[in-house]
């Protein structure tokens, strides 16, 4: 479905993304995981041409995205930005509907769709479409960001740390509703995070990036059983160890 072939991006001497190749199956959710500056956002933005690659290409459904007009391409790809990026002077509804307005949907149809999306991301009935983003909590704003990405019913979603910078409980609730939405809409998605626990929760497979390179890709089990190097081992063992500690504590208290 999504095929990334030898993709690179250079900024002068800096190689932000270095000869990266991977594929995402239809209906699959691939997590890209890596530290800050490892090239995750740059990779994601090359999929929908917010950034043009220096070398390599991205194919979607067998078509080179380089040959598709960007507005055409983005119609079929939902994008959830890092740090949400809602427009403060627009209402929640206008933010969600931005792509639909660009597509020329008539206002009544937009209103219906916005109501449907507010329900889908579990903001309805508490949050009305004519509120301003600044009236909402961080978690609610993140939900609006996800609703905006889903507005035009894309078959591909790109999500850039969509639940970053939230308290653990809010984050957990958002992850759970995202898992439900994902299943319901049968999305094919690339989901960027720097949090391994989140990666394990949402990902069918996880690709680990470091210094612009993909150093390993596989199922959580693959990564755990045969980590490519110590970095990967540490990344995956940390949440596993924490889970074991919690398990042990629970065992203790139940006996």
Residues that bind Mg ion (CB under 5 A): 41
171 binds, among Mg ion, ligand ADP, none (CB under 5 to 8 A by kind): none
- Which residues contact ligand ADP by CB under 6 A? 11, 14, 16, 34, 36-42
| Residue 41 or 216 having the CB closest to Mg ion | 41
255 binds, among Mg ion, ligand ADP, none (CB under 5 to 8 A by kind): none
What is the nearest approach in angstroms of Mg ion to the Cβ of residue 34?
9
| Residues 6 or more apart whose Cβ sits within 8 Å of residue 56 | 4, 5, 6, 7, 8, 19, 20, 21
37 binds, among Mg ion, ligand ADP, none (CB under 5 to 8 A by kind): ligand ADP
14 binds, among Mg ion, ligand ADP, none (CB under 5 to 8 A by kind): ligand ADP
| Residue 32 or 156 having the CB closest to Mg ion | 32
Tokens of 97: 């509907």
| Residue 33 or 129 having the CB closest to Mg ion | 33
Q: Is 249 exposed, middle or buried (0-12, 13-18, 19+ CB in 10 A)?
A: exposed
| Residues 6 or more apart whose Cβ sits within 8 Å of residue 138 | 165, 166, 170
What is the nearest approach in angstroms of Mg ion to the Cβ of residue 49?
17
140 binds, among Mg ion, ligand ADP, none (CB under 5 to 8 A by kind): none
> Edge to edge, what strands does the sheet with 14-24 contain?
14-24, 2-11, 55-60, 63-64
What is the nearest approach in angstroms of ligand ADP to the Cβ of residue 83?
11
- Listed residue (15, 43, 49) closest to 30, CA to CA: 43
Q: Is 86 exposed, middle or buried (0-12, 13-18, 19+ CB in 10 A)?
A: buried
What is the nearest approach in angstroms of ligand ADP to the Cβ of residue 11?
3
> Edge to edge, what strands does the sheet with 156-160 contain?
77-80, 156-160, 188-193, 29-33, 205-210, 213-218
- Nearest-CB residue for Mg ion: 41
What is the nearest approach in angstroms of ligand ADP to the Cβ of residue 205?
18
């Amino acid at each position: 479905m999504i095929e990334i072939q030898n993709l690179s991006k250079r900024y002068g001497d800096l190689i932000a993304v270095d000869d990266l190749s991977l594929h995402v199956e239809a209906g699959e959710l691939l997590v890209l995981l890596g530290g800050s500056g490892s090239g995750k956002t740059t990779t994601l933005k090359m999929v929908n041409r917010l950034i043009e690659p220096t070398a390599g290409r991205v194919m979607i459904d067998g078509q080179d995205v380089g040959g598709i007009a960007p507005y055409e391409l983005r119609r079929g790809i939902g994008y959830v930005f890092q740090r949400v990026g809602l427009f403060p002077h627009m209402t929640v509804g206008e933010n969600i509907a931005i792509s639909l307005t660009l597509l020329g949907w008539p206002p009544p149809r937009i209103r219906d769709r916005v109501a449907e999306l507010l329900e889908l991301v579990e903001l309805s009935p508490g949050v009305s479409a004519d509120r301003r983003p600044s009236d909402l909590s961080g978690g609610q704003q993140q939900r609006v960001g996800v609703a905006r990405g889903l507005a035009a019913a894309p078959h591909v979603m790109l999500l850039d740390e969509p639940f970053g910078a939230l308290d653990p409980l809010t984050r957990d609730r958002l992850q759970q509703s995202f898992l439900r939405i994902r299943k319901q809409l049968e999305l094919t998605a690339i989901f960027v995070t720097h949090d391994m626990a989140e990666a394990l929760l949402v990902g069918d497979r996880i690709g680990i990036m470091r210094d612009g390179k993909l150093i390993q890709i596989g199922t959580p089990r693959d990564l755990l059983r045969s980590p490519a190097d110590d970095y990967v081992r540490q990344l995956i063992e940390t949440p596993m160890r924490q889970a074991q500690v919690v398990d042990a504590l629970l065992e203790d208290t139940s006996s």
